[in-house]
Structure 1
Amino acid sequence: MGLLGLDLTSWGLVVTFILLLLYFVGSRGHNFFSKRNVPYLRPLPILGNMGALVFRRKSFGELLESLYIEFKRHKIGGMFRFNQPIYVLCDPETIKQITVKDFDHFIDRSLPFPVDSEPLFMKSLIGLKGDKWKNMRSTLSPAFTSSKMKNMFLLVDECGHQLSQYLHDVLKKEGSFIMISMIKGFIKTTA
C-alpha cells in the first residue's frame, strides 16, 4: 500500500494525467498564428516564448533583438507571452501605420509590468486606458502637428550640438567626465 492508499501504478497514472492536463492547458491557444498564416516562434507549454526571460538567460532587450532577427524578412511575426499571443512588427511602414495613423484604434494595450509599479509612466499615452486615454490624446494631439515637430527638432538638434561642444571642452580640459550626469542634464534641457 502506497501513499494515500494508492499503489505505484495508480500514482503513475495520476502524475501522467496531471502532466498531460498541464501540457494541454499550457498549450491552449498555441495555434493562434498558424491559423492566420503568420510566422511565429514555436512556444513551450505554459511559458510560451518567455522561457529565456523567466530563467534569466536573456534580458527583455535581447529577447526583442532575437525576435527582430527571426522575423526581419517578414512584415509581422508572432510570439507568445506565456499563453497570450503577441504580434511582433518588423516592417517600418507597418509600425508607422499602427503607431501614427491607426494609433487611435489601439486604446487599451497590455503592459509588460504591473500597473502600479510605474506611476509616472501610467500617466503617459501608452499607460492610460479608456476615457483617460481619449482625453489625454485629444489634449496632446494639437501639440504634435508636423510643423511643430519640425520646429521642436531644430531645438533638440541645437541642444545636441551644444552638448557635443560642452563634452568636447570638458574632455579637453579634464581628460574625462561622468556620462550619467551629462545624460541627465541633456534630458532635462530637451524634455
Structure 2
Amino acid sequence: MYLLQIILSEIKLLVIISFILIYVWFKYKFTYWARRNIPGPKPLFPFGNVRDVIRRKQQFFEPYCESYYKFKQFPCVGLYSFHVPVLSINDPDLAKHVLIKDFDYFQSHGIFSSGVGNPLGGHLFNIHGQAWKNLRLKLSPVFTSAKFKTMYPLVEQIANYALQYSDTVYQNGEAINFSDFYEKYSMEIVGSVGFGVECNGLKNNDSEFYQRGHEYFEPKSLYWTIIRAISFFAPEFFKKLRINRINPEINKFFFNLVKESVEYRQQHNYRRADFLEALIDLKNEGEKLKSNDTDTSDTFTLIDVAANTMLYMFAGYETSATTGQFAAYELARHPDIQARARDEILTVLQKHGGECTYEAQNEMTYLNMVLDETMRIHPPMRALFRRCTKDFRLPDSDVVIEEGTLVFIPIHSIQMDPDIFDDPQRFDPERFTPERKVKMHPCHWMPFGEGPRKCLEI
C-alpha cells in the first residue's frame, strides 16, 4: 500500500512537471512575434488566438479579420494557431509583394483542401514548387475561354432544369430556400461538368453525390471537424503521418466514381464535352509518351484525373453557391438594381434571338458588376493563405519572415475597409464599372485570389 502511494505520488509529480514544462514551452513560443517587434493580440494557452474557432464559436478566418481592425495602423499582425505563428497582412501593398511581386518566396498555399496523399490530395491547389508549375502548365489549356465555351451547353441545360424546378415550386405556392437551391444547383453543375454524372440533387435530397459532396465541405461529425481545424495549420505533420483530414469514405466514393466513368468512356469510345473529358485527354497523352519510351516522370495518371476533378469541386461548388445566394439576396434588397439588371438581360437576350449563349452572358456588363459587388461584400473566400518557402525580408524593414511561416491575407476585411471602399456596407455595383475596375489596386478586391496562384482563366 505504501509503495502504491509512492508510485501514485511520483506519477502525480511527473504529470505536474510535464504540464509546467508544456506551459513554459507554449509561453516561450508565444513570444515569437514580440521578439520580432510584430504587434498582435494576446494568445491564450494552449489555443493561441483560435480558441473560439476550436470551440466552434467562430469561423477559422474571424480571429485574423478581427485583428485587421484592431491593428489596422500596422502593415502586419502576429497571431498564433496553437503554438504555430501566423502572420496576418493588413497592408494591400505588402499583400501585393506576397502574392505577386515576390511570389517566388510564397509559392505554397500552406494548407490542404483535400485528403493528404493519394488518391485525391495531389491537385493544383495543394502542391507547390516545380510540381505545381508543371501541373499548372498542363491544366492551363483546360481553363481557356474556348474550352469553357464547349462545356457551356451542359451548364445551360442544368440552368433550364433548375428554372423548371423553381417554377414548379412557385406554382405549388411554396417558398424557395435560396441557400438550399444554389447549393444543389452548383452541385448539379459540378456533377455534370466535373464528373460527367447527373446527381439530381434538386429533386432528390438523398442523392449520394450531393450528400457526399456536401459532407466534403461540411463534416457531419465533431471528430472530422476538429481534425480539419487542426490539420489546416499543420499540414506537414499530417502529411508525414499520412493522416487524412477528409473522411476516407468520401475520398473512396469520388475516386471510384471517376475511375468507373473513365473506364466506361474508354471501353465504349464515348466522348463528352466536359472537364472530365479534358483530363482524360491529358491522361491519354501521357500514356502515348510512355508507350514511345519518352520520360514519364511528368505524365498524367488516373490518380491525377481523380485529384483534379476534386479541384473542380473545391473551386466550383461552394464559391458558386455562396455567390449565387448572396447575389439573389442583394437583388431582392435592391429592386432598382434588380430592375436594371433584368432590363440588361432582356436586351442582350433579344439581340441573341432569346438564347442565353456563352457570348450573350459575356455581354451582360451590369450583371457582372452586380456579381463583382456581391463578391466584395460576401467574398466566397474570406481569406488567402500562403506559406513562406524561403526566408523573406519585409520591404523597408529588418523583419524576416522565416521559411515555413504561414501568411494570412484577410480579404473580407480589406474589401470592407471604409478607407478603401467608401460606405462599404452599401451595395453599389457602380464601384465595378469596367473603367473603375481596370484602375483598382490588385489587392483591394481579391475574390479569386491574386498573382500566379489565382484561379485559372480569371
TM-score, normalized by length of structure 1?
Answer: 0.63
Confirm whether residue 132 of structure 1 aligns to residue 167 of structure 2: no
List aligned pairs for 1:81-160, cutoff 5 A. 81-111=81-111, 115-116=115-116, 122-124=122-124, 126-136=125-135
**Partner amino acid for 1:131?**
Q
- Report deviation, 1:49: 1.5
Unaligned runs of 5+ in 1: 149-162
Letter in 1 for 2:23: Y
| Distance in structure 2 (CA, Å) of the matches to 1:134 and 1:7 | 58
Q: Which residue of 2 aligns with 1:153?
A: none
- Cα distance between partner residues in 1 of 2:69 and 2:122: 30
Deviation at 1:33, TM superposition (A): 0.8
In structure 1, how many angstroms separate the alpha carbons of the residues matched to 2:69 and 2:101?
26
Alpha carbons of structure 1 residues 130 and 7: separation in structure 2 relative to 1, 3 Å: closer
Alignment partner of 1:48 is 2:48: yes
State percent identity of aligned pairs. Answer: 25
Structure-2 residue corresponding to 1:61:
61
The answer for the alignment partner of 1:5 in structure 2 is: 6
CA contact (8 A) 1:75 1:90 kept: yes
- The question of whether the paired residues in 1 share the 8 Å contact of 2:33 and 2:39 is answered with yes
Equivalence for 1:17: 17
Q: Which residue of structure 2 lines up, in the alignment, with residue 155 of structure 1?
A: none
Contact 2:111/2:126 (<8 A) preserved = yes
Instruction: Measure, in 1, the Cα distance between the counterparts of 2:112 and 2:52.
Output: 15
Q: What are the Cα deviations for residues 53-98 of structure 1, in whole angstroms up to 9, with x where unaligned?
A: 1222212133333232223222100111111111001111211221
The DSSP-based 3-state class of the residue aligned with 2:30 is coil
Is the 2:77–2:89 Cα contact (8 Å) retained in structure 1?
yes
Q: Assess if the C-alpha contact under 8 Å between 1:27 and 1:44 holds in 2.
A: no
Quick one: distance in 1 between partners of 2:114 and 2:20? Answer: 31
Higher relative contact order (CA 8 A, sep 6+): 2
Q: CA deviation at 1:100?
A: 1.7
Give the superposition deviation at 1:44: 2.3
Q: Secondary structure at the match of 1:77?
A: strand
How big is each residue's C-alpha offset from its partner over 1:98-126, in whole Å with a ceiling of 9 and x where there is no partner? Answer: 11222222123421666539x778523x4
Work out whether residues 75 and 94 of structure 1, in 8 Å CA contact, stay in contact via their aligned partners in 2.
yes
Give the stretch that moved more between structures: 44-53 or 176-185.
Answer: 176-185
- SS of 1:123's equivalent in the other structure is coil
More off after superposition, 106-115 vs 64-73: 106-115
* Partners of 1:78 and 1:86 within 8 A in 2: yes
Aligned to 1:152: none
* Aligned position for 2:35: 35
Cα RMSD after superposing both structures = 4.3
One-letter identity of the residue aligned with 1:132:
A
12 and 132 in structure 1: CA distance in 2 versus 1, 3 angstrom threshold: closer
Which residue in the other structure is 1:160 paired with? Answer: none
Q: 1:114 to 1:86 in 2, by over 3 A?
A: farther
* Match in the other structure for 1:154: none
Number of equivalenced pairs: 169
2:24 and 2:113 map into 1 onto residues whose CA distance is: 26
Partners in 1 of 2:37 and 2:13 — Cα distance? 37
Q: Is the 8 A contact 1:28 1:83 kept in 2?
A: no
Specify the code of the residue in structure 1 equivalent to 2:127: L
Contact 1:108 1:129 survives alignment (8 Å):
yes
Query: Match of 2:133, as an amino acid?
Result: K
Structure 1 residues 63 and 139: alpha-carbon distance in aligned structure 2, compared to 1, 3 A threshold: same
CA distance in 1, matches of 2:59, 2:93: 27
After TM superposition, the score normalised by the length of structure 2 is 0.30
| Aligned counterparts of 1:112 and 1:90: Cα–Cα separation in 2 | 24
